[in-house]
Amino acid sequence: MGGIFALGAERDFDRVQDLCLSVARLWKQAAANEFGFGIYISPLALKICCDNGGRILGDYFPIPPGPFKRIATLIVLGRLDPFFHFEPQLDRGAMDRWLPKILTLLISPGLAKLRVNMAVDPTKPLWQKLDAWETFPSAHYKQEFFQFLEGMDSFSWLEGEARSAGFIPTNTWEYVLEARAARMISAVALSLESCYYWNEDSKDMGTSSPLRGKCADFFDPSDVNFRKEFEYDRVIYTGIERSKASP
């Protein structure tokens, strides 16, 4: 079923780690000083993510999985059991705000690392790259996506109470956690897929739509910290451009 969450693939961990390292490298180069923390990857947590990702994709989805489900799996599992961590350590609130933003940076390299077989005849593969991702359809969508990830919870902390109260019979808890994760992966995959098609088809940024790009009241221009965090991608891009201009 190919790499990136392919159950049993020996090199899959390396491929997922390459994606994460590309984020950590650019962050260090362009944004770490600005925001005051570095991005690090826990190999142990990433290994668990790869094992769980391969199992969930294999158990709950057709094989081989589609590209959006693979990247959605990386993002959802990276939220539920984080493999990214930040140093110096952020407080809980900052960690919850930043993790979705950093995970979002995995979308474009993750899709670019994949290809889909468009062939009707399986003996004559026709590979198509997935390098059209640029961004979300609107600033509001981007913020909602962050908040969706921020609120995502495996509810693993509930296990002790649920068991002691007799809510969950033995042997079903693992199923509950995995089934919930699979449905979260489905939701994120649908979101990524629709955004990808929008990226392929339209770059008018909402100027022709009566709705898209018009919701702005979530964005308080006087909230400097919110604005700066929201535009973390601008910091990365301008930082890299600046370093290219003056090597």
Partner 1 sequence: MKQGDEQFLKEPSYQYSREPVKQLPVRNLPSEDDPNVTDEDLENAILRHCKASANLTAVS
Q: Which is nearer to partner 1, 89 or 172 (CB)?
A: 172
Tokens at 14, concatenated:
């390396």
Q: Are 96 and 152 in contact (CB under 8 A)?
A: no
Cβ-based neighbour number of residue 127 at 10 Å: 10
Q: How far apart are the first and last CA of the chain?
A: 42
Q: Which is nearer to partner 1, 92 or 222 (CB)?
A: 222
Q: Smallest distance, Å, CB 131 to partner 1?
A: 7
Q: Which is nearer to partner 1, 31 or 80 (CB)?
A: 31
Q: Smallest distance, Å, CB 200 to partner 1?
A: 13
Q: Which is nearer to partner 1, 23 or 80 (CB)?
A: 23
Round to whole Å and give the CA distance between 12 and 47: 10
Q: Smallest distance, Å, CB 116 to partner 1?
A: 4
Nearest partner of 110 among 180, 12, 203, 198, judged by Cα: 12
Q: Are 219 and 231 in contact (CB under 8 A)?
A: no
Binding site for partner 1 (CB under 8 A): 1-4, 6, 15, 18-19, 21-23, 25-26, 59-62, 64-67, 69-70, 105, 107-109, 111-118, 127, 129-131, 133-136, 138-139, 142, 175, 179, 182, 186, 205, 213, 219, 221, 227, 230-231, 233-234, 236-238, 240
Q: Which is nearer to partner 1, 52 or 138 (CB)?
A: 138
Phi, psi for residue 53 in degrees, rounded to 5: -60, -45
Q: Smallest distance, Å, CB 138 to partner 1?
A: 6
Tokens at 34, concatenated:
């600005």
Those residues whose C-beta lies under 8 Å from the C-beta of residue 31, and which sit 6 or more positions away, are: 232, 235, 236, 239
Q: Smallest distance, Å, CB 105 to partner 1?
A: 6
